[in-house]
Amino acid sequence: MPCFVDLGNPALKPRHWKQIFDKIGRPVQESFTLQDMLDWNFVSIKDTIADISGVASGEYALELQLAGIEKVWATLAFLVVPYREYKDVFIVPGIDEVSATL
């Protein structure tokens, strides 16, 4: 049963499926049956499948975090003001929000 749960992981991407099918020595199949899984002896690589599924979940979590960071940074505005009497010199006066975001 754990093997089926790992194979049902929505975080699995084509590259992960390729790793799994490479391990059993078969070309990637878009769909397959339970009988196919038994014939191809998926259970013999259940630990590998668990590892690949775990890596896929970790990668997915990182992708979600990166998307969140990109969203925050896309909306973060930098206020630029002239520095003293200098004509072409500017500074970012308040970086508290930027520091907190970092």
% residues pLDDT > 70 (the chain): 100
Phi, psi of 68, deg, nearest 5: -65, -45
Residue 72: pLDDT band (50, 70, 90) is confident
Asked if residue 91 is part of any domain, the answer here is: no
Domain hosting residue 10, numbered range: 2-72
Cβ atoms of residues 57 and 9 within 8 Å: yes
Asked if residue 56 is part of any domain, the answer here is: yes
Type of residue at 67: A
Asked if residue 38 is part of any domain, the answer here is: yes
Q: How far apart are CA 61 and CA 76, in angstroms?
A: 23
Which comes out higher in pLDDT, residue 87 or 40?
40
Average pLDDT over residues 9-36: 94
Over 90: is that where the pLDDT of 1 sits?
Answer: no
Asked if residue 22 is part of any domain, the answer here is: yes
pLDDT at 101: 78
% residues pLDDT > 90 (the chain): 62
Question: Domain tally for the chain?
Answer: 1
Asked if residue 98 is part of any domain, the answer here is: no
Secondary structure of residue 93 in the 3-state scheme: coil
Asked if residue 90 is part of any domain, the answer here is: no
Place of tokens 């505005």: 77
The model carries a pTM of: 0.71
